[in-house]
Homo-oligomer: A and B are copies of this chain.
Amino acid sequence: MTDVFKHQFRFTQADVIAFARVSGDDNPLHLDADFAASTPFKRPIIHGMLGASVFTKVLGTQWPGAGSVYLKQTLEFLRPMFVDTDYEAVFKVISVNADKHIAEISTEIFDLQTNKITTKGVATALNKEKF
């Protein structure tokens, strides 16, 4: 596998509503435009953990993909994320323990319009075939 992987994605308000339902996090900051207008964010923001779910998607299904077992993830929610906005998740291998088949991977999300980072962290995953 390559040392770097990039994946573009976006979420809709329907995704945010679905995530609110399944997680139980119905904080009006994510769902209520009038409420959000009264906050420093001015408009509804995506749940940080919904944005970060792109990491489990990519690691579990694309890169390295099948067979991955998620061991750890750190997350820093640096800037708000919004619906109907193009983002890119960037993954870089930091280190691989070939004996244990475990890799540390930096995980970052960039807003493609501003090029600013919104979320960063480090994933640790096991994959017996790829690491």
- A114 CB-CB contact with B under 8 Å: no
Q: Which of B24, B47, B76 meets A54, CB within 8 Å?
A: B24
Would you call the interface of chain A mostly helix, strand, loop, or mixed?
Answer: helix
Residues from chain B with Cβ under 8 Å of A48 in the complex: 56, 70, 73
CB-CB under 8 A for A60 and B22, given A72-B76, A76-B71: no
A53-B25 CB under 8 A given contacts A18-B18, A73-B75:
yes
Copies of this chain in the oligomer: 2
Interface residues on chain A, number (Cβ under 8 Å) = 35
The verdict on A52 contacting chain B, using a C-beta distance below 8 Å, is: yes
Chain B hits for A24, CB < 8 A = 9, 53-54, 57, 61
CB neighbours of A34 from chain B (8 A): none
Closest to A74 in B: B74
**Residue of B with least CB distance to A50:** B22
Pick from B21, B55, B71: contact of A18, CB under 8 Å: B21
Is A98 engaged at the interface, CB distance under 8 Å to the other chain? no
Contact A73 B49 (CB under 8 A): yes
CB distance from A130 to the nearest CB of B (A): 14
Q: Do the beta carbons of B23 and A57 come within 8 Å of each other?
A: yes
